[in-house]
Amino acid sequence: VTDQLPSTPSRKVPQQFGARIVVGAFTGAVIGATGGATIGGLIAGATGAVIGTLGGAELRKRLALAFDKDQPAALVEDAVAIVGGLLIVAAVA
């Protein structure tokens, strides 16, 4: 929700982008460790964080242009993130 506020910095600034990569790598390593693939999970998590950050920003930009405003695009992006997260959890569980 906070990413919809005008005062929120871009997800692509180094501090936010770096945090996303670290959290993605950690999460991937934890999930990978359950199957004996800690390093592979770490790499997959970091890669997913980069792709998700850059891809999400581009998708939101294109949707905002299509809707002619940002808020509907932000809501679509949030819905995609929630459904994607639920699908990942269901696949891992």
71: in domain: yes
Q: What is the pLDDT along the chain (93 residues), one digit of tens a residue?
A: 666 777 788 889 999 999 999 999 999 999 999 999 999 999 999 999 999 999 999 999 999 999 999 889 989 988 998 999 899 889 877
pLDDT for the residue 1: 61
Q: Is residue 30 part of a domain?
A: yes
The answer to whether residue 4 is domain-embedded is: no
pTM (predicted TM-score): 0.81
Query: What is the span of the domain harbouring residue 85?
Result: 12-92
Q: Domain tally for the chain?
A: 1
The amino acid at residue 50 is V
The reply to whether 74 falls in a domain is yes
Torsion of CA 25, 21, 1, 60, to 10 degrees: -120
